[in-house]
């Protein structure tokens, strides 16, 4: 079966997780698609809630078995992927899937699911503010922040590929805008093309 899906994408640090958590708290119809990743768990993350953390060998095995809808080497030697089983379980429960994926993953999901899916790009005000947010979050080393900023410069060029763009400058405004877009899609099927 195929249900509805909402895909949030952006450069790292733009505010995807913050906005996704707000939407999940506001709309019980939404359920988060927990991805698999080979990156180390952060101190505030929980296995099975934020990600399924696994070794590269385990991840490769899942690729081989065809367990992923999509997967990417998002950063050098660090893999992320959406499990088929995760999405199917959410749809069977009658809910709408909420994704937090990188730009390439979002484009691939949109290609696959078309008008059943809504893609939302979260745009940071500028690259310096993005860097400050990543530094403020303090979850990555200086080196990893550098890698994420480099990727962000490239990802920003893809904003126009998505159904909706939300500028995340003032957080409360961004949250309001996200809620309005999501309501339109959930209850009136607006927004997806
Ligand atoms: P992402 O999931 O896209 O990597 P996060 O949601 O983790 O981004 O946000 C990165 C950091 O920026 C977090 O510390 C978060 O609290 C902060 N943040 C998010 N939105 C804003 C905003 N509008 N203004 C200031 N800080 C923000
Ligand atoms: P983080 O390490 O900050 O949690 O995530 C890094 C990047 O990987 C983010 O852009 C996030 O959206 C992306 N990501 C998380 N899960 C997936 C996934 O399943 N597939 C893809 N393609 N990207 C993902």
Per-residue pLDDT reduced to its tens digit, 118-149: 999 999 999 999 999 999 999 999 999 999 99
- Residues lining ligand 1, judged by CB closer than 6 Å? 10, 12-18, 133, 136-137, 168, 171, 174
pTM equals 0.96
Residue corresponding to tokens 């296995």:
47
Percent of the chain with pLDDT over 90: 96
Decide which of 190 and 20 is more confident.
20
Mean pLDDT of 17-23: 97
Whole-number pLDDT of residue 115: 93
In short, whether 74's Cβ falls inside 6 Å of ligand 2 is yes
- Give the ligand whose atoms come closest to the C-alpha of residue 167: 1
Distance CA 42, CA 64 (A): 27
Distance CA 149, CA 50 (A): 22
Q: With a cut of 90, say whether residue 190 has pLDDT above it.
A: no
SS (H, E, C) 135-182: HHHCCCCHHHHHHHHHHHHHHHHHHHHCCEEEECCCHHHHHHHHHHHH
CA of 75 to the centre of ligand 2 (A): 9
Whole-number pLDDT of residue 192: 77
Instruction: Count Cβ atoms below 10 Å from residue 150 Cβ, excluding itself.
Output: 11
Distance CA 20, CA 25 (A): 9
In short, whether 102's Cβ falls inside 6 Å of ligand 2 is yes
């Amino acid at each position: 079966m195929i249900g509805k899906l909402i895909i949030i994408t952006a450069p790292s640090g733009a505010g995807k997780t913050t906005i996704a958590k707000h939407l999940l708290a506001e709309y019980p119809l939404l359920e988060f698609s927990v991805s698999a990743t080979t990156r180390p768990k952060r101190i505030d993350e929980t296995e099975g809630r934020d990600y399924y953390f696994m070794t590269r060998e385990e991840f490769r095995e899942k690729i081989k078995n065809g367990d992923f809808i999509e997967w990417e080497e998002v950063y050098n030697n660090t893999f992320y992927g959406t499990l088929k089983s995760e999405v199917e379980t959410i749809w069977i429960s009658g809910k709408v899937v909420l994704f937090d994926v990188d730009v390439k993953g979002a484009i691939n999901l949109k290609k696959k699911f078309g008008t059943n899916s809504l893609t939302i790009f979260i745009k940071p005000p500028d690259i310096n503010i993005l860097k400050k947010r990543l530094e403020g979050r303090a979850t990555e080393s200086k080196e990893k922040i550098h890698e994420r900023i480099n990727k962000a410069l490239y990802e920003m060029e893809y904003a126009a590929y998505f159904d909706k763009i939300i500028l995340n400058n003032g957080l409360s405004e961004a949250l309001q805008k996200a809620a309005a877009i999501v309501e339109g899609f959930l209850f009136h099927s607006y927004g997806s093309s």
